[in-house]
């Protein structure tokens, strides 16, 4: 669509945090070892749910391969952006057996792993000067710290790209502080996700009119 209608479609490439568990930080790692270390950690106790889930998990993809593909896709389309990427502390890995109903398991992706995948992708965005659609769920302070860390690490190169907090659920007070600190940060809200929050209207009021964007996740 982006190639056919370049004036109408701006594509985005990147790994959403819901798929970050499929990415291995090591170059070569066996599937069971990857998921056992990621989801069970040092817990050596047998876990029936893990054993049930393992056969249906995808083979892990090395992070360097993810970044190579990301850089290739972004380079092929000069207007493309990074997204939707981010962190999500509420996500649980689903069990999706063929011809069976989908259910959520108890397994979550460690936040340090999510951040490693995210920060590596942000590095590519900074390198190529691409804007970012950022996902953050139940990770308000983690995201605040991330933004400060990226600003300190990349300096002017970071402020040269724009960051949209997609369907942002931050408190109005946190947003006001971020808006003052980060000139390249924008806010987009949706009725589908944010409309359920008691802070929805207050967050809109707290945001400068020049920093609020139209959101695609509507009813």
Residue-wise DSSP of 47-68: -HHHHHHGGGSPPPEEHHHHHH
Identify whether 76 is part of a domain. yes
**What pLDDT was estimated at residue 98?**
72
For residue 219, pLDDT beyond 70: no
d(CA 144, CA 85): 15
Against a cut of 0.75, is the pTM above it? yes
The structure tokens listed for 164 are 């949209």
- The chain-wide mean pLDDT, for the chain, equals 91
For residue 196, pLDDT beyond 70: no
Identify whether 184 is part of a domain. no
The beta strands (E) that lie in the chain are given as: 12-13, 23-24, 61-62, 81-88, 94-95, 103-104, 132-137, 163-165, 185-188, 212-213
Identify whether 86 is part of a domain. yes
For residue 124, pLDDT beyond 90: yes
Identify whether 50 is part of a domain. no
The pLDDT tens digits for 64-82 are 999 999 999 999 999 999 9
Identify whether 206 is part of a domain. no
Using alpha carbons only, how large is the chain's radius of gyration in Å?
A: 19
Identify whether 186 is part of a domain. no
Tally of domains in the chain: 1
Identify whether 131 is part of a domain. yes
For residue 22, pLDDT beyond 70: yes
**What pLDDT was estimated at residue 102?**
83
The pLDDT tens digits for 142-172 are 999 999 999 999 999 999 999 999 888 888 8
Identify whether 145 is part of a domain. yes
Domain of 154, CATH number, reads 3.20.20.140
Range of the domain at 160: 12-23+61-91+107-166
């Amino acid at each position: 669509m982006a190639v056919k209608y370049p004036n109408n479609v701006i594509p985005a490439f990147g790994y959403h945090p819901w798929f970050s568990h499929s990415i291995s930080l090591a170059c070569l790692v066996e599937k069971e070892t990857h998921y056992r270390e990621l989801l069970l950690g040092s817990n050596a106790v047998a876990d029936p749910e893990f054993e049930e889930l393992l056969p249906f998990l995808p083979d892990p993809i090395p992070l360097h391969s993810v970044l190579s593909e990301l850089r290739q896709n972004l380079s092929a389309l000069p207007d493309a952006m990074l997204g939707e990427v981010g962190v999500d502390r509420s996500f649980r890995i689903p069990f999706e057996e063929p011809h069976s109903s989908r259910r959520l398991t108890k397994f979550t992706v460690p936040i340090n792993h999510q951040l490693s995948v995210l920060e590596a992708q942000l590095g590519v965005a900074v390198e190529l000067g691409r804007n970012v659609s950022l996902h953050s769920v139940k990770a308000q302070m983690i995201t605040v710290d991330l933004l400060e860390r990226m600003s300190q690490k990349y300096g002017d190169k970071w402020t040269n790209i724009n960051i949209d907090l997609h369907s942002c659920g931050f408190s109005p007070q946190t947003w006001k502080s971020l808006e003052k600190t980060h000139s390249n940060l924008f806010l987009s809200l949706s009725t589908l996700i944010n409309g359920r929050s008691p802070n929805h209207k207050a967050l809109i009021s707290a945001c400068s009119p020049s920093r609020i964007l139209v959101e695609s996740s509507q009813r």
